[in-house]
Amino acid sequence: MSPHRLIPQDSDDKIFLTGATSHAKENGFVDGIHDQDSDKAIHENMYEPPIKATDDHLVEFSEAMRTVAKALRRAAEAKAAAQVEAAEWKRKYELERASNLRNSHEGATFEGSLCNSGEGRLNNSCDVTKVDNPSIEQSERCCRKHGICSHEILQDEATNTNYKFAGRKVTRKASFRLSWGCNGYNSGQQKHEVVSFERGDITTAERSSKQILLKWETHPQTVLILTKPNSNSVRILCAEMVRWLKNHKKIDVFVEPRVRTELSKEASCFEFVQTWENDEEIKHLHSKVDLVVTLGGDGTVLWAASLFKGPVPPLVPFSLGSLGFMTPFQSENYRDCLDMILKGPFSITLRHRLQCHVIREAAKDELDTEEPILVLNEVTIDRGMSSYLTFLECYCDSSFVTCVQGDGLILSTTSGSTAYSLAAGGSMVHPQVPGILFTPICPHSLSFRPLIFPEYVTLRVQVPFNSRGHAWASFDGKGRKQLAPGDALICSMATWPVPTACLVDSTNDFLRSIHEGLHWNLRKSQSFDGPRDG
């Protein structure tokens, strides 16, 4: 048997060696190795046992390559999902931008957009032009670096629209930037993610322990003042504040039509005050106002939030009512407070709102809904005038939650946790905690305790067909709607929160409100001269 037949088929290196030796002998080359020595070397290499250590290294290497392949596949899947999500957001952005452009063109033919002091009405020209302002261009270039800038939201509408107020052109809305700070100091960067994943460890982002700060990039130029009605003290303070803002701060002032009529009757010097005339002008109010000032209680803050169906300008609430959970500023010091706000930076609380849709049983699909309603406190579903218990079926996304039998149900924001939800047995929650409170009203079951859902879920409350009576839904205590069997109410977190200015910071203002407004955990101290441990 020749040596070539004993060599395995996969020993390519040995075949090459044998063939090379034979080829050398055929051509007469002598390299110092005799034929017998060559055959002996071949047999030794051929019958040498395999090295086990090499096999172990190959197995380990193949496992490592398999792990890398899994990681690459997961990264590709995540990238594909992110691209799909980005495409969806881009599509929504394009639709919203097209809607804004269409509304601006419609507003170009709209006569009498705002009420002027001397003429009564003004022409609103919405020519699509570009604002040539080096300071604005410079501020736009700094966007998306260290915070959330207002240019990202307002640049499409504000740069393409010129409004005429009081016989002159009003410049672009004041821009601002949001950043995360700690103990009143700016951290210098914005954290977009809630959690982070690095080297196999999951950690929460830094923003969970930071206070949000607002810093003006351009000086505010327009202030909207909303007041509590039927109050002489509020009317006097409003007139004084309007005069001070105009004469000392050179700021344009907007008020409600009712307030403008009151100011015009009081003195002719208030002819510069501007207002609106219809609901169509209110829809574009956020693009004209830099700051909102409320004079009243929490009800005035709710009214101010209800005026804005989209973005809400920063809101400065002054306490002039009986309830002050959301009004930390005192009216006696309004000049110092507004000086601090106009100068900036200042802390804000992003108060989340709920977006509610009513779907009737006769609707063709869930897209066929009534106009959405935004609430800052809560939406309440109760039995109204009926003597029967409310019967409701509740779902969270696609999961069944429970059936509610009792007086009703409250779906509340965390800002509204100290309102109706608290009276019904719900928990008090910090207003910047993003969540939806699920609180029953006098449930028929004693084991029915309140829940708190995360902010990203969608809640569906439906009146079943076998319900004995109708239900009624009210939104921040008003706008009641009847829900017949088969009707449903869908609630989710709204896109646009209500940014309210803080006197100190969000936590300090919240604790002060529950201490002063609710007298939380207020009791007489225990006597020190009683029994003690030995």
Could you give the residue numbers annotated as active site? 298
Among candidate residues 225, 111, 124, 138, the one with its CA nearest the CA of residue 170: 124
Q: What is the rounded CA–CA span in Å between residue 69 and residue 58? A: 16
In which element (H, E) is residue 414 found?
none
Task: Tell how strand 451-454 and strand 458-462 pair up.
Answer: unpaired
Q: How many CB atoms lie within 10 A of CB 398?
A: 7
Among candidate residues 88, 107, 101, the one with its CA nearest the CA of residue 155: 101
Contact 404, 376 (CB under 8 A): no
Phi-psi region of 21 (alpha: psi -120 to 50; beta: other; left: phi over 0): alpha
Phi-psi region of 178 (alpha: psi -120 to 50; beta: other; left: phi over 0): beta
- Supply the Cα-derived Rg of the chain in whole angstroms: 35
Q: What is the rounded CA–CA span in Å between residue 172 and residue 158? A: 6
Tokens found for residue 328: 């930390």
Query: In a 3-state reduction of DSSP, which class is residue 156?
Result: helix
Tokens found for residue 116: 């002027």
Query: In a 3-state reduction of DSSP, which class is residue 315?
Result: strand
Contact 224, 142 (CB under 8 A): no
In which element (H, E) is residue 412 found?
strand 399-412
Burial of 55 (0-12, 13-18, 19+ CB in 10 A): exposed
Q: Tokens 């969270």 map to which residue?
A: 396
Phi-psi region of 20 (alpha: psi -120 to 50; beta: other; left: phi over 0): alpha
